[in-house]
Amino acid sequence: MATQNTRALARFMMAPSVILLLVWMIVPLSMTLWFSFQNYNLLNPGNVSFAGLFNYQYFYSDPAFFQSIWNTLVIVGGVLLITVIGGIGIALLLDQPIFGQGIVRILVISPFFVMPPVAALVWKNMIMHPSYGVFADISRLFGFRPVDWFAQYPLLSIVIIVAWQWLPFATLILLTALQSLDSEQKEAAEMDGASAFSRFIYLTLPHLARAITVVILIQTIFLLGVYAEILVTTNGGPGYASTNLAFLIYRTALLGYDVGGASAGGIIAVILANIVAIFLMRAVGKNLDR
Amino acid sequence: MARVVTRQHKVIATIAAWLVAFLIFFPILYTIITSLKTEPEAIAGFSLIPSGTFENYITVQTRNDYIRPFMNSVILAVGSTILALIIAIPAAWAMAFSPTKRTKDVLMWMLSTKMMPAVAVLVPIYLMFRDFGLLDTHIGLTVMLTLINLPIVVWMLYTYFREIPGEILEAARMDGAGLWQEIVYVLTPMAVPGIASTLLLNIILAWNESFWTIRLTTTTAAPLTAFIASFSSPQGLFWAKLSAASTMAIAPILILGWFSQKQLVRGLTFGAVK
């Protein structure tokens, strides 16, 4: 039939999206790459010169760099651990027949819709505040001294806040996957006398494997860039104790005015994200073939 | 016997599930409760019963002009979503109904643009915005949010459009429907639910975007994310007022979110989990 025409029309229809995303991907990223090889400070914009690999060396030799990489990994790892294990547990619970399932689901999913600055400020002031927070009230009730969370455990505090935001996401996706598990299979395993534990290990967990992979990969993409939560709670401190790579780049760029250094950091962030992205693309791509 | 066990099981599971749900929801609940307290009440220790004052909501408006960031959030979230839909609908349509060998690659490539860390392009974007006078403007930020969410919009629409059976089109054609009739009477009714879900999810994502909205705005175009983030040091705004501002910032999107939870899974996993 009119395949020639159809094909031309299809191309025409796709063009705006493709061109926009192409420009969006190529222009800023190549600028970052370019800046990363320049000596360029916003306080001295007239004096731009080629820097070679100096910015990378500088960023690399900054003691904050390794700490920020470590903090990034702790945030990603810690949040993943809490959300995946917690998410499986809660999903299994919500998959049971319970009264008021709809309302329970709504309550559990809610933190995901809370914008990051609100989530962080609510936890900082209402929950974790050393004198007025709920945790402090609980500590006093049991006769303990309240913990000053953001001073004593800044990174852990951020992990807790971010985990609270992402736990609903993991739960919801794992619950969706659980509900697609064939109930006949479950019954058959039960008939054969498989214990609840072995049913979980040999039946449920393999069935969830895909969903768990997707949860881990998608969360990692977002968790590598945690920003607002740090900004409004610890501002990266004390010292660099809660500065992740994203926050360090922001600090270098907009507080230190060092365009070259921040760009070198940006390129490092891209490389980190790409490693994750490759795995995610595979997981999602497989689904397209079905 | 099995009956009894099931009944007991259900009661125990219900209690456990409600307990977990309460704990997870507690920070939000406590914020809402605190927003109805007076300032001295708010710091007087744990209490779930507020005196029920609405004063904080009024104060936040009179002292901090709450309406402006709220309207900015609405403009940016709705504007960027509609713009993204206008650009994405034809693309998703073409990929779903006349796919080529390349379609999958194009989709994967679009997804890959979503993986770029925002900080990596902070410097060039910031400089470009500064040089073109786009900092703190609605138009600049709307375009930014459109670009960020465009891949998700294309993907979501694609997964919905793909489920519209192509045979229906052929049947309509057999019955002598013209292209226009085909679009109006056959395709649009089938596509609307997918477009609506995409719209909803993307308003949520744009509303909560907290990197560019904070960094590229100061006052004029600052949405609620930037407004709330400016209270990171508690001067001027205390517990009860902060709670009132927070409650107002999350309430609309919380309610939208509850309606869209099914689409959420699909949209955020790029169709990998349904």
ipTM of the prediction:
0.85
Between A29, A108, A263, which is nearest B116 by CB? A29
Contact A225, A246 (CB under 8 A): yes
Tell me the domain boundaries of chain A.
Answer: 36-289
Helix (H), strand (E) at residue A50? strand A49-50
- Can you give the pLDDT at residue A1? 44
Please give the CATH superfamily to which domain A36-289 belongs.
MetI-like (1.10.3720.10)
Q: Which stretches within B98-238 are classed as H helix? A: 103-113, 122-131, 138-161, 166-174, 179-181, 188-208, 212-215, 224-229
Verify whether the Cβ–Cβ distance A132 to B231 is below 8 Å. Answer: no
- Can you give the pLDDT at residue B24? 94
Dist CA B3 CA A267 (whole Å): 61
**C-beta atoms surrounding B195 within 10 Å:** 19
Q: Which parts of chain A register pLDDT below 70? A: 1-4, 284-290
Could you read off the pLDDT tens digit of each residue along chain B, which spans 274 residues?
Answer: 444 567 888 888 899 999 999 999 999 999 999 888 887 777 777 777 778 788 888 888 887 788 888 999 999 999 999 999 999 988 888 888 877 888 888 888 887 888 788 888 888 888 888 888 888 888 999 999 999 889 889 988 888 888 887 777 777 777 777 777 777 777 778 888 888 888 988 898 899 888 888 888 888 888 888 888 887 765 555 888 888 889 988 998 998 888 877 777 777 776 667 6
Q: Model-level pTM?
A: 0.86
Residue that the structure tokens 């962080």 belong to: A120
Pick the CATH number of B66-230 from 1.20.1260.10, 1.20.1090.10, 1.10.3720.10, 3.40.50.960: 1.10.3720.10
The packing angle between helices B188-208 and B239-259, to 10°, is 160
**C-beta atoms surrounding A126 within 10 Å:** 23
Dist CA A134 CA B45 (whole Å): 8
Among the listed residues A108, A140, A219, the one whose alpha carbon sits nearest the alpha carbon of residue B28: A108
- Token pair for B249: 């910032």
Residue by residue, DSSP assigns A9-45 as: HHHHHHHHHHHHHHHHHHHHHHHHHHHTTEE-BTTST
Verify whether the Cβ–Cβ distance B119 to A27 is below 8 Å. Answer: no
- Can you give the pLDDT at residue B272? 67
- Can you give the pLDDT at residue B73? 92
Contact A145, B62 (CB under 8 A): no
Measured between beta carbons, the chain B residues lying within 8 angstroms of A127 are 27, 30
Tens of pLDDT along B73-129?
Answer: 999 999 999 999 999 988 888 888 877 888 888 888 887 888 788 888 888 888 888
DSSP state of A51: -
Dist CA B266 CA B274 (whole Å): 5
Burial class (CB in 10 A: 0-12, 13-18, 19+), B183: middle
Measured between beta carbons, the chain A residues lying within 8 angstroms of B104 are 285, 288
DSSP state of B176: T
Dist CA A256 CA B1 (whole Å): 71
Among the listed residues B243, B154, B239, the one whose alpha carbon sits nearest the alpha carbon of residue B202: B154
Q: Which stretches within chain A are classed as H helix? A: 3-35, 54-61, 63-94, 101-109, 116-122, 134-141, 149-152, 154-179, 183-191, 196-199, 205-223, 228-233, 245-250, 259-289
Contact A102, B249 (CB under 8 A): no
The packing angle between helices B138-161 and A3-35, to 10°, is 140
Tell me the domain boundaries of chain B.
Answer: 2-57, 66-230
Verify whether the Cβ–Cβ distance A17 to B110 is below 8 Å. Answer: yes
Cα dist. A142→A136, A146, B45, B223 in Å? 10, 10, 14, 41
Among the listed residues A271, A277, A263, the one whose alpha carbon sits nearest the alpha carbon of residue A216: A277
B positions 137-156 inside 8 Å of A (CB): 147, 150-151, 154
Tens of pLDDT along A162-174?
Answer: 999 999 999 988 9
